[in-house]
Every structure is written in C-alpha cells, then in structure tokens.
Amino acid sequence: MSLFPEGGPGRHLKARLAAGEVLVCAMVAEYARPSLMKLYSQAGIDFVFFEYEHAYFSPTALSDTVLAARDSGMPPIAKTPQLDRQEVAKLLECGVIGIQLPRTESRAQVEELRSYMKFPPAGTRAAAIGLGNSDYSLPDDLRNLQDWMDDQDAETTLIVHIETRLAYDNADEIVGTPGVDMVYVGPGDFSIEMGHPGQYDHPGVVGPTEDILELCGKHGVPFGTSATGVEGAQRWVDKGASFFLAADELGFIRRGAARLVEDYSALKR
C-alpha cells in the first residue's frame, strides 16, 4: 500500500497544505542517516528539510537519507546550494521533491528555478528515468514519455525562501510568479536584514513577515516560517501560516542531553 495516496510524496505534501492542515517539518543539518528518518517518522514529523546550503553531505549519505524519508512517508525537500541546473538536477534525481531557493530575490530567479525543475514544454529539465525521483521505477511505455514527465512535474514542489530586504521589496512579484508552491520566510537572516538580529518577535520583523503572509493569501500560496516556540507558532497559525521548519537533529540532541543532565543533577545521596 502506498504511503502517499495522492500519487507521490510531492502531491501528498501539496494536497495536505491545500486541505488546510498545519504541517511540522524537521531539518537535517549534519547527520544524514536513514535511521534519523525512521526516528522522525516515529515522532510524527510531516516532512523533512535538508539544510544543503550551509551543511555538507556526502552524495551517498544524502541520497540514502532522502530515499529513507520517502520510504518512511515523509516528503523530502532541500535547499539548492545555488541556482544551478546541475545542483537542482542531482537533488531531484536522488529523490528530493521540493527545491527551496535561498535568498530568493526576483521573479527571474523563480522562473529560472522552475525551468530547471519542470520537463518540456513547461521547463528545460533533462529526462533521467529510473532514478530516485520515481523510486527507481520505469515508465510503462518509453514511447509515451510525456505522460511520465507530466506525472513527475506534478510531484516537484517549488519553494521560495524570503530572507532579505530586497526580497521583501519584491515580494509581490516573487509570490505571484506562476509555479510557486510554497513560501518560507527565514526569520534568522530576515531579522538581520531588518535591523533586529535574532529578534524574531520584534515588530520590525513581524510586520514585514505579516505583509508577506498577506501576499501569500492573495496569491493562494501556502506560507511557512520558523517560530520562537509553540505559542509563537499558534499566533502565526491564527494569521494563516500553514507550515513550520521547527528544529534540526542537532537541537534535538542538545536539548535532550541537557534535559537528561538536569534531571540527574537533582539526584541527592
């Protein structure tokens, strides 16, 4: 039985967002291991985000972990380290369904990324069949490859990442670009750009973020961000947010270890 009743992990993710669900995403920042995907799945994580802009993953570790995410029922998305055809192709072919473009700042960038992600006639993606993008299955009929390409196009998910002042200035044209499936505002760099480093809840950061959320509502695109905690996340949900990039495995290990030490430090002889 398929883990993705909508047809595949990309369509599954988009269908859940379209249905109004609020989704929680866990990140992979360093330890790309299939076992981590099993733990995330057991915890109930909705989809997985590979931090491939700031982190380094060996190709084998990345592809193995991406496939494990798919096999565990969690759609995998990843940042592309740069807007480059080869980088995007390798991520898609290893099984990533969503490409997130860091420092998205113009409609032209979004259109370029979409071209790399979609097959002709919608884009310029080269056909690479029987790889991780289709769980290593082949088209039923190679003479009718267009059906397979259309099916794959329905899977790919384009996520813009707004984190600069220029992106904020161009937000309407970015969010409104045809083919944008999700919008993520990264509060870390965005707070720096807005002059309030690390102050996610500062009015000078929250206000512009709310403006972008409003544009997402106008264009019918799911909006997500990272909140300072559950209470902060609830406030964003009340305003219309659909998903959260919540934490990575380093944070989980750090907090879990600190909590354990704190508990044991209370022991008395």
pLDDT, tens digit, for every residue of 22-47? 999 999 999 999 999 999 999 999 99
CA distance 48 to 70: 9
- With respect to residue 237, please indicate whether it lies within any of the assigned structural domains: yes
> Is residue 1 scored above 70 in pLDDT?
no
The arithmetic mean of pLDDT across residues 207-230, rounded, is 96
E-assigned strand segments in 53-120: 76-79, 98-101
- With respect to residue 247, please indicate whether it lies within any of the assigned structural domains: yes
- With respect to residue 2, please indicate whether it lies within any of the assigned structural domains: no
- With respect to residue 1, please indicate whether it lies within any of the assigned structural domains: no
> In the chain, what percentage of residues exceed pLDDT 70?
99
Residue 184: count of CB within 10 angstroms of its CB? 27
**Segment 75-112, tens digit of pLDDT:** 999 999 999 999 999 999 999 999 999 999 999 999 99
Would you give the distance in Å from CA 116 to the centre of its chain?
17
- CATH number assigned to the domain comprising residue 21: 3.20.20.60
- With respect to residue 4, please indicate whether it lies within any of the assigned structural domains: no
- With respect to residue 205, please indicate whether it lies within any of the assigned structural domains: yes
- With respect to residue 3, please indicate whether it lies within any of the assigned structural domains: no
Closest residue by Cα to residue 169 from 228, 110, 141, 211:
211
- What is the pTM (predicted TM-score) of this model? 0.93
**Segment 106-157, tens digit of pLDDT:** 999 999 999 999 999 999 999 989 999 999 988 888 888 999 999 999 999 9
Closest residue by Cα to residue 121 from 145, 105, 89:
145
Q: Look over the chain and give the mean of its residue pLDDT values, rounded to a whole number.
A: 95
Taking the C-alpha atoms of 65, 67, 69 and 74 in order, what is their torsion angle to the nearest 10 degrees? 150
Q: Give the pLDDT confidence score for residue 2 in this predicted structure.
A: 60
- What residues contact 191, with CB distance under 8 A and at least 6 apart? 197, 198, 199, 200, 202, 205
Domain count, the chain: 1
Q: Give the pLDDT confidence score for residue 221 in this predicted structure.
A: 98
Domain hosting 17: range is 9-265
Q: Of 14-18, 45-49, 138-142, 178-182, which gets the smallest average pLDDT?
A: 138-142
Chain position carrying tokens 């030490």 = 261
Which two structure tokens, joined as six digits, stand for 246?
């919540």
